[in-house]
Amino acid sequence: MQPVGVCTASLGSLGLMRFLGVPWSWSLAATLGVCLGSGGWRLLRVLCKTALRDLFGLSVLLRVKYKLRRHQRAKSTIPKMFQDVVRRHPDKVALIYEATGEQWTFRGLDEYSNAVANYFYQQGFRLGDVIAIFMESRPEFVGLWLGMAKVGIEAALINFNLRLDSLVYCVTTSGAKAVIFGGELSSAISEVNGMLGKNMAKFCSGDYNPEVVPAETRHLDPLLSTASKSPPAQIPVKGLDDRLFYIYTSGTTGMPKAAIVVHSRYYRIAAFGYYAYKMHPEDIVYNCLPLYHSAGNIMGVGQCLIHGLTVVIRKKFSASRFWDDCTKYRCTIIQYIGEICRYLLNQPVRESETQHCVRLAVGNGLRPTIWEDFTKRFRIKQIGEFYGATECNCSIANLDGKVGACGFNSRILPNVYPIRLVKVNEDTMELIRDSRGLCIPCRPGEPGLLVGQINQQDPLRRFDGYVNESATHKKIAYNVLQKGDQAYLTGDVLVMDELGYMYFKDRSGDTFRWRGENVSTTEVEGMLSHILNQTDVAVYGVEVPGVEGKAGMAAIADPKTKVNPNVLYQELQKVLPPYARPIFLRLLPQVDTTGMGDLCACCSLGSDFRRDWVLPPQGDGKAEKAALRQCAVTGVSWLPSLFFRGCVIKSPLVVRQAHKYH
């Protein structure tokens, strides 16, 4: 029986006994008997084990909701909240740039962002205009979007790994009137200059090389140095529910989608992290995650802008320097994605890994198999694992360190936070409905799709969607928990245990996760098909033992054996970021289609595979080499039909191991 039913039956029996004049002692005894007899002992067990967790979670929820209501009444925005922090401690260090050791105080960051606001306002940019930011992580990145927000300009935060068509798509679909790019990415902008349009204004920040940047590009740094550092005179009329910037997320289909981040969403994500994990202004955060993602820019930098923490920004993650940096800057909080934890565990033991001051690691994707190894080896007191997409309204968090859990929802009071796991067809991922047309909630232990009930009047439950309205509509389902309601579809399958802890199981739709990034199979298929003159291609992710995420596999129709993997790989380097390039190629006589006419990859043991190839490692190649070693050692048991005939890879060791199974 559900908790509500148990409580109803118990209270009903108590009322009946008292109505009949039965003494209190007998009435309570009878009520306890009814409670236990109807399965109430399970409810009592859940209550005893989860009461403290649920009460703390409820206190965090109410605190964030109260703060949001107060900011709404005050008509606050993120820039206004930042101004409050600047007034409290102007000379405290806000940002540290690891690459140079440069330290930005709150006053310095405020003045830089004021210069950005004043300059672009003088250039004619106004409320609601969009400017794309395309640069690697550094303090200027933060100052740029913050300064734009001060005058109502919205930033589109572009993944700096993108090139050619993907880059052009993200810049143009945002409606950007200008693009600010880092000097380190000048060649990438030059490649697409003609595709961006004649009216696209271009600004270069950092190293400026006139021979590399497109013509008419303005060097932004000297322009900002002469701009007024006073607060902008023109303050836009914006509120918490208005747009702040756009973050691109790989959707279930097609190119990346520009998710709308409003001021209240930015505050909500940062505030939940702050209160849920008991951060305080004296904490120092080590942030090696990209600032074009919400984890780095909101969960990390947001603690600086809203709560006054110091954040150390590292341009790129380094496993060998990670703990040295944490020790040097006396960091107390680190941010991670699952791959980072594994990379750190694979490093040789060094003194700095236990001489640090880190007490909390916040992130997502930490595998249960290495969770305890990570905490014990590096002496981390608390893991703050959470689940949530940039745009979702059903984020959850692990508050008490339950190994493997990415969050929880109360079993006793589930309606306080209206999210559910609902049953779906495992093949089509369509929602399964009951006779009333409503979705069917999952029982503990049953995998289901995570959904969050939408309420646009509640900042914690609103769904702001994407720039593309059709993409927004695809993420909304109707009549989910009750007639007439709306719910956000995460596209992710989770499992909940009897105590309400939730565990990530799989990502549905046409995406998979590799090297900390979401990969759109549709986007990769489109690029491959274009390179191969519209050849049929199916892309999907395959699991590799001991490696987070899924590696990309491309099945290509090659009946005449014309595909040259070396040439194909060279072309892929030009159009796809490293994480999106397939690791494995499967060359087939044909690529089959589903009953709906969609291409599908046939993975059965009896399939007629002409050739299988392994492409060169991406980046440092560690994950890919590990994948191949696992395949060789296990006899490729994870995909029985895959044999590496004619491997194309840089590591001779791996080639020899693979050839053992010809």
State the pLDDT at residue 16: 54
210-237 pLDDT, tens digit per residue, is: 999 999 999 999 999 999 999 999 777 7
pLDDT, residue 630, reads 47
Strands 257-262 and 537-543: unpaired
Could you give the CA distance from residue 534 to residue 521 in angstroms, rounded to a whole number? 16
pLDDT above 70 for 277: yes
**Higher-pLDDT residue of 560, 406:** 406
pLDDT of residue 655: 26
Rounded Cα distance, 322 and 318, in Å: 6
- C-alpha angle 64/70/74, rounded to 5°? 140
Question: Could you please report the per-residue DSSP string of 261-325?
Answer: EEHHHHHHHHHHHHHHTT--TT-EEEE-S-TTSHIIIIIIHHHHHHH--EEEE-SS--TTTHHHH
Specify the range with the lowest mean pLDDT, choosing from 161-165, 484-488, 546-550, 585-589: 546-550
Pair 334, 286: CB distance under 8 Å? yes
pLDDT digits (tens, 9 = 90+) for 64-118: 999 999 999 999 999 999 999 999 999 999 999 999 999 999 999 999 999 999 9
Give me the pLDDT at residue 513, please.
77
Q: How far apart are CA 311 and CA 530, in angstroms?
A: 43
- pLDDT (0 to 100) of residue 563: 83
Residue 426 is which amino acid? E
φ and ψ of 65, to 5 deg = -65, -40
Per-residue pLDDT at 463 exceeds 90: yes
CA distance 109 to 106: 5
Q: How far apart are CA 452 and CA 464, in angstroms?
A: 13
Residue 244 identity (one-letter amino acid): L
> Please, which pLDDT band fits residue 639 given cuts at 50, 70 and 90?
very low
**pLDDT digit string, tens, across residues 17-30:** 455 565 666 555 65
So what's the pLDDT on residue 505? 83
Question: Is 186 in contact with 205 (CB distance < 8 Å)?
Answer: no
Residue 572 is predicted with a pLDDT of 85
Residue 371 has pLDDT above 90, yes or no: yes
Q: How confident is the model at residue 590 (pLDDT cuts 50, 70, 90)?
A: confident
Q: What is d(CA 378, CA 369) in angstroms, rounded to the nearest whole number?
A: 16
Structure tokens at 234: 């023109």
pLDDT higher than threshold 80 for residue 310? yes
Can you read off the two tokens belonging to residue 613? Answer: 């190839």
Q: How far from chain centre, in Å, is Cα 140?
A: 22
Angle, alpha carbons 489-493-498 (nearest 5°): 110
Question: What pLDDT is attached to residue 598?
Answer: 44
With a cut of 50, say whether residue 537 has pLDDT above it.
Answer: yes
- Find out whether 632 and 654 touch, Cβ atoms under 8 Å: yes
CB 299 within 8 A of CB 389: no
Residue 290 has pLDDT above 90, yes or no: yes
- What residue has token string 């969607």? 465
When pLDDT is averaged across residues 347-363 and rounded to a whole number, the result is 95
Residues 603-632: tens digit of each pLDDT? 432 333 334 555 554 444 555 455 555 444
Give the separation between CA 337 and CA 536, rounded to whole angstroms.
34
Gap between the Cα atoms of 466 and 473, Å rounded: 9
**pLDDT reading at 308 higher than 50:** yes
Sheet holding 584-588, edge to edge: 537-543, 550-557, 584-588, 611-614
Q: Which residue is it, tokens 């059709």?
A: 470
CB atoms within 10 A of CB 503: 16
Exposed/middle/buried for 273, CB within 10 Å: 0-12, 13-18, 19+?
Answer: buried
Q: What is the CA radius of gyration of the chain?
A: 27
- Best CA proximity match to 333, nearest among 367, 296, 286: 286
In order of their start, the domains of the chain are 3-73 (no CATH), 411-507 (2.30.38.10), 511-659 (3.30.300.30)
Which residue in the block uniquely carries the two structure tokens 């691109």?
248
Average pLDDT over residues 313-321: 95
Residue 313 or 570, more confident? 313
Higher pLDDT, 439 or 624: 439
Stretch 362-385: mean pLDDT, rounded?
A: 93
User: Across the chain, which distance is largest between two alpha carbons, in Å?
Assistant: 95
For residue 103, the SS3 value is: strand
Question: Which residues partner with 512 through β-bridges?
Answer: 519
Tokens of 319: 């496993």
What does the alpha-carbon distance between residue 71 and residue 84 come to, in Å, rounded to a whole number? 12
Give the 3-state DSSP-derived string for 143-196, with helices as H, strands as E and coil as C.
HHHHHHHHCCCEEEECCCCCCHHHHHHHHHHCCCCEEEEEHHHHHHHHHCHHHC
Alpha-carbon span 150 to 264, nearest angstrom: 15
Instruction: Identify which of 186, 176, 173, 172 has the alpha carbon closest to the alpha carbon of residue 218.
Output: 186
| Reported pTM | 0.80
pLDDT band at 4 (very low <50, low <70, confident <90, very high): low
From first CA to last CA, the distance across the chain in angstroms is 56
Name the pairing type of β-strands 476-478 and 486-496: antiparallel
What's the pLDDT at 100? 96
Taken as a whole, the chain contains a residue count of 662
Alpha helices in 20-127 (DSSP H): 24-35, 41-73, 78-88, 106-122
pLDDT tier at 559, thresholds 50, 70, 90: confident
The rounded distance, in Å, linking the Cα atoms of 240 and 23 is 56
Identify the CA nearest to 337 among candidates 515, 580, 547, 546. 515
**Considering Cα of 146, then 148, then 154, then 157, what sign does the dihedral take?**
negative
Q: What is the chain's mean pLDDT, rounded?
A: 84
What is the rounded distance in angstroms from the CA atom of residue 44 to the CA atom of residue 33?
A: 13
Return the DSSP state at 37.
Answer: I
Number of Cβ within 10 Å of residue 415's Cβ equals 11
Kindly report the backbone phi and psi dihedral angles of residue 343, in degrees, each rounded to the nearest multiple of 5, phi listed first.
-60, -40
Could you please report the per-residue DSSP string of 108-132? HHHHHHHHHHHHHHHTT--TT-EEE
Two structure tokens written together for 338: 């699952």
